């Protein structure tokens, strides 16, 4: 998957934003096998560690600024979930 897939999923309202959302679903074991987690290239180390400690697999995309621009959102996020 790529940033393009993330943008398409966002158009269908299938994207969740933020580490708390992903960790909450991971803890409740509600991440589907088809769920995809993405992080920005410039994500903080402590955020990466939280995902790894929770056993969440993720893919690295571009930096936050590029993702924000390409998705057309008006806020920065480090973690994205297609569920």
- Domains defined along the chain, listed by start: 3-82 (3.30.1330.30)
| pTM of the predicted protein model | 0.89
pLDDT-wise least confident of 14-23, 27-36, 43-52: 27-36
Give the per-residue pLDDT at 55. 94
Tokens of 71: 């998705």
Q: Which of 16, 40, 43, 44 is nearest to 30 (CA)?
A: 16
Distance separating alpha carbons of residues 32 and 74, to the nearest angstrom: 28
Tell which phi-psi region holds residue 29, choosing left (phi > 0), alpha (psi between -120 and 50) or beta: left
């Amino acid at each position: 998957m790529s940033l393009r897939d993330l943008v398409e999923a966002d158009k269908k309202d299938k994207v969740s934003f933020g580490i708390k959302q992903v960790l909450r679903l991971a803890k409740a074991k509600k991440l589907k096998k088809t769920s995809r987690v993405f992080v920005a290239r410039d994500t903080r180390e402590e955020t990466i560690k939280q995902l790894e400690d929770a056993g969440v697999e993720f893919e690295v995309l571009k930096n936050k600024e590029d993702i924000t621009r390409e998705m057309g959102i008006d806020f920065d996020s480090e973690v994205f979930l297609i569920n």
